[in-house]
Structure 1
Amino acid sequence: MLDQTDRKIIQITQAGLPLTPQPYQAMADQLGLTADDVMMRLTAMQNSGIIRRIGAVPNHYKLGYRFNGMTVWNIPDEFIDELGQKVGQLEFVSHCYHRPRHLPEWPYNLFAMVHGKSQQDVDTQIQQISDLLGDYNLGCDVLYSTKILKKTGFRTTNQQVTL
């Protein structure tokens, strides 16, 4: 269960953490808590599954990365963990994950998001992933972004939320 303080923490983080050198202290000052209390509560909410993760969500377009593609790969299932770790560690991959196949239409089980300032940048990154996967690459495709979607965090309402 969320108490009122947890709800307030979620509410003030919905637009992101404060852009200050000490964001947890800024939140604590706003809530009348200590920074340690805020961090402890966020950690507890994350450990209980109320919050999935705390992380930066950059706006790639504002940073000059206009070419964004979700690469999808058909990898033998027995190598998905090992190869997914390697792909996910590439500096140009913002996120990488395993998803189930939906045969026969969708044979892909490894997804990796890449971002580039040019189409050539993205093509080079895709080739690097392909080279890394080698003979385990049984096929791939790229789904390019066509518009920017609004990214938002967890939302609460005035109604009671049971999680």
Structure 2
Amino acid sequence: MRGTAGPRNRPPPPCRSRRPRHRPRPEAADPQAAQPRGAPKPAGPGHPGPIPFQIPSTLRRDPMPQRTVTVGSRSGLHARPASLFVQAAARQPVRVTVARDGRDPVDARSLLSVLALGARHGDAVVLAAEGDGAEAAIEELAALLAADLDAKE
């Protein structure tokens, strides 16, 4: 039967929900209701208004120590130099990260992550660490990166 509406040709049933699909907004009788959502409400008489949030001094941290270093190895951070760098980073008491060209920092203890940076000779990398001993860790790793680790000893 070609002319009859089968189960596939039938229109969808009407929505039987009793709730309206949207609520009509009431007309703004007072000026506060006319403001857009999320806008600060004006302070009433005797109320100073919103108090700005400040981080307590006990919770503030000094910025993470960072240092920009130029890679000194002729082959860059590849194979042997990267392995020596990762071993030195693993000996540090703090977590050290390394980044190149404004990219996201990676864990300096991960050989694959350091190799994936693709840092070549003369590239600038940023070392960062946080915690007790961060400055000393960055100094030691920066000296290691700046040295030519491929030179014959």
Compute the TM-score of the two structures, normalised by the length of structure 2: 0.30
Q: Over alpha carbons, which structure has the higher Rg?
A: 2
- TM-score of the pair, normalised by structure 1: 0.29
Q: Which has the higher helix share?
A: 1
